[in-house]
Amino acid sequence: MDLFEKVMERAKTADLGKYQAGADGYFMFPKLEGEIGPEMNFRTPFGVKPILNWSLNNYLGLANDPEVRKADAEGAAKYGLAAPMGARMMSGQTVMHEELEAMLAKYAKKPAAFVVNFGYQAMISIIDCIVDRKDVIVYDYEAHACIMDGIFLHKSKCGGEKMSYVYPHNDMEKLEKQLKLATKKVAETGGSILVITEGVFGMAGDLGNLKGITDLKDKYNFRLLIDDAHGFGTMGPNGGGTGEHFGVQDKVDLYFATFAKAGAGIGGFIASEKPIIDYLRMNMRSQIYAKSLPMPMVVGLKKRLELMTTNPKYRENLWKIVHAIQEGFKKDGFDIGKTQSPVTPVYMHGDPNASDVECTAEATNLLLDLRENYGIFCSIVVYPVVPKGTVMFRVIPTAAHTLEHVERTINAFKECKKKLDEGRYKAKTVDPWTMLKSGKVEF
Ligand SMILES: Cc1ncc(COP(=O)(O)O)c(C=O)c1O
């Protein structure tokens, strides 16, 4: 069979691909236009409409901050988008990159930091660099895809030998069990142990149990890597992250975060002891064989970090909105799970006995109503990621939202929940286009 024909066969049943016809350009790959912030325009195949946006990880509202926009523009005007040309190691090193690294190391309370061009690839590379075939990785079951890809790469080097152990999400008893096994294993291989978790789990907003994990350091010999993509800038008294929040940053051996969330940029960094950072600089394949972070981004990131460190108003505004929306949802009887971070999941429950298609149809209609009739834009997660009949909304508050936005949103959720409970979103087939085409989205 021709490879492309085979790929097209696979596409028909792929997890997300199978919904392409009913979702592409609206539920998937939506186009948000205008200046980044809570009020943007949503372009669909049927027109453009204003929406209240709760789907960007622009936690501190820095993406469209006037000082940030000015720094970005000045960086672009001075250096152009191409500079520096080449990978850091070859021809892409600059004083600005080093200055940004010094600022990041200070912020993350580590002796040294290394700026990377993309978070996802960097995480794969960090894992690839830090462990070899004799070492064991112990990781949380809900680890992000970039951590999993790093673990897959490690697996591929271990010749079929089981060298990675997963523990159920945040389950410290099971983590300890896995650490016992890992300790036994490395005694045989002569290797070492790396534990990996996220600081803030980005889907449900709960925190990695960093206190529990670091307490285990008294009993077991391991190093800890955390991916704090959602905690950097948002958690802890100074925004220094989830380690700072728990008061255990000194026990985090490798602290990783991306600039794609609170940093409102692109790229990321890893912070640790200086010799380890030097080793990573010299060995991370995703950095040695790929281009350095462009200059305007580096200049803009320095400005972002300066604002994050000198002006608490960004974090204060963020948490004001987080508390208002989370307390508001709870007061009105909504289930927001176990979040302890700005990430706000809202769980609603449709018909658990419906077929797969009926479940998707009900969730689709609910989101359609929320977007078309209430102008509220957020992402949803449906079965099979959550149990059948459950719809999880992922609401991301930012410092740029207002209390009026919060009130409007909670009222819209209340009305939609009432309709869901009355069974008004039920349908046999997933067909958003007919309603959208007719201009009549009514439930
Ligand atoms: C936990 C986590 N790690 C890593 C990444 C990847 O970061 P980047 O977008 O900088 O590649 C993300 C981004 O979604 C994330 O949520």
Q: CB atoms < 10 A from the CB of 238, how many?
A: 14
Query: What is the Cα–Cα distance from 175 to 195, expressed in whole angstroms?
Result: 9
Checking if the pLDDT of 127 tops 70, the result is yes
**What is the extent of the structural domain holding 21?**
3-59+313-438
**Mean per-residue pLDDT for 163-170?**
98
CB 395 within 8 A of CB 54: yes
Quickly state the pLDDT bin for 38 (edges 50, 70, 90).
Answer: very high
For position 274, what pLDDT does the model report?
Answer: 98
Whether a cis peptide bond, with omega within 30° of 0, leads into 66 is no
**Mean per-residue pLDDT for 73-99?**
97
Checking if the pLDDT of 428 tops 70, the result is yes
**Mean per-residue pLDDT for 241-246?**
98
Query: What is the Cα–Cα distance from 197 to 142, expressed in whole angstroms?
Result: 8
Name the residue of 146, 147, 207 to mutate for ligand 1: max ligand atoms within 8 A of Cβ.
146
Ligand 1 pocket member 118 (CB < 6 A): yes
Query: What is the Cα–Cα distance from 100 to 394, expressed in whole angstroms?
Result: 32
For position 385, what pLDDT does the model report?
Answer: 83
In tens, the pLDDT along 182-197 reads 999 999 999 999 999 9
**Pairing label, strands 268-272, 344-349:** unpaired
CB 309 within 8 A of CB 278: no
Of 286, 310, 334, which closes a domain? 310
**Mean per-residue pLDDT for 288-295?**
97
**Mean per-residue pLDDT for 350-360?**
87
Domain co-membership, 92 together with 130: yes
Smallest CA separation from ligand 1 atom 8, residue: 119
Q: Which atom of ligand 1 is nearest to the CA of 202?
A: 16
Dihedral sign (CA 43, 46, 47, 49): negative
Residue 237, in any domain of the structure: yes
Q: What are phi and psi of 328, to 5 degrees?
A: -60, -45
Domain co-membership, 183 together with 97: yes
Domain co-membership, 329 together with 286: no
**Mean per-residue pLDDT for 426-434?**
88
Checking if the pLDDT of 15 tops 70, the result is no
Ligand 1 pocket member 228 (CB < 6 A): no
Whether a cis peptide bond, with omega within 30° of 0, leads into 342 is no
**Mean per-residue pLDDT for 10-17?**
76
Of 310, 334, 356, which closes a domain? 310
Domain co-membership, 136 together with 19: no
Q: Which atom of ligand 1 is nearest to the CA of 267?
A: 10
Residue 266, in any domain of the structure: yes
Name the residue of 59, 117, 120 to mutate for ligand 1: max ligand atoms within 8 A of Cβ.
120
Percent of the chain residues past pLDDT 70, beyond the cut: 99
Domain co-membership, 160 together with 291: yes
Q: CA 248, 251, 254 angle in degrees (round to 5)?
A: 115
Checking if the pLDDT of 24 tops 90, the result is no
**Mean per-residue pLDDT for 405-426?**
96
Query: What is the Cα–Cα distance from 299 to 301, expressed in whole angstroms?
Result: 5
Q: Which of 398, 405, 391, 401 is nearest to 334 (CA)?
A: 391
CA of 126 to the centre of ligand 1 (A): 14
Query: What is the Cα–Cα distance from 98 to 368, expressed in whole angstroms?
Result: 47
Cα–Cα distances in angstroms (integers) from residue 122 to residues 127, 138, 158, 301, 381, in the given order: 9, 19, 21, 18, 27
Residue 443, in any domain of the structure: no
Residue 191, in any domain of the structure: yes
Ligand 1 pocket member 144 (CB < 6 A): yes
Q: What is the mean pLDDT of the chain?
A: 95
Ligand 1 pocket member 135 (CB < 6 A): no
CA of 121 to the centre of ligand 1 (A): 9
Domain co-membership, 215 together with 320: no
HSE-up (13 A, CA, CB side) for residue 402: 5
In the structure encoding, which two tokens stand for residue 82, read together? Answer: 């191409």
Smallest CA separation from ligand 1 atom 12, residue: 229
CA of 92 to the centre of ligand 1 (A): 23
Of 285, 310, 335, which closes a domain? 310
Helices 119-130 and 145-156, axial angle in degrees (round to 10): 30
End-to-end CA distance of the chain: 46
Ligand 1 pocket member 120 (CB < 6 A): yes
Ligand 1 pocket member 147 (CB < 6 A): no
Ligand 1 pocket member 254 (CB < 6 A): no
Ligand 1 pocket member 248 (CB < 6 A): no
Ligand 1 pocket member 198 (CB < 6 A): yes
CB 262 within 8 A of CB 57: yes
**Mean per-residue pLDDT for 384-406?**
94
Domain co-membership, 49 together with 147: no
CA of 228 to the centre of ligand 1 (A): 9
**Mean per-residue pLDDT for 329-350?**
96
Domain co-membership, 424 together with 300: no
Smallest CA separation from ligand 1 atom 3, residue: 229
Residue 362, in any domain of the structure: yes
Quickly state the pLDDT bin for 430 (edges 50, 70, 90).
Answer: confident
CA of 268 to the centre of ligand 1 (A): 9
**Mean per-residue pLDDT for 21-50?**
92
CB 216 within 8 A of CB 182: no
Quickly state the pLDDT bin for 54 (edges 50, 70, 90).
Answer: very high
What does pTM read for this prediction? 0.96
Domain co-membership, 48 together with 70: no
For position 10, what pLDDT does the model report?
Answer: 87
CB 322 within 8 A of CB 59: no
Domain co-membership, 42 together with 76: no
For position 389, what pLDDT does the model report?
Answer: 87
**Mean per-residue pLDDT for 371-377?**
97
Quickly state the pLDDT bin for 77 (edges 50, 70, 90).
Answer: very high
Residue 323, in any domain of the structure: yes
Checking if the pLDDT of 74 tops 90, the result is yes
Query: What is the Cα–Cα distance from 123 to 149, expressed in whole angstroms?
Result: 9
Query: What is the Cα–Cα distance from 72 to 55, expressed in whole angstroms?
Result: 23
CB 258 within 8 A of CB 268: yes
Q: CB atoms < 10 A from the CB of 227, how many?
A: 32
CA 81 from centre of chain:
26
Domain co-membership, 104 together with 238: yes
CATH of the domain at 70: 3.40.640.10
Count the domains in the chain: 2
Ligand 1 pocket member 136 (CB < 6 A): no
Domain co-membership, 166 together with 153: yes
CATH of the domain at 384: 3.90.1150.10
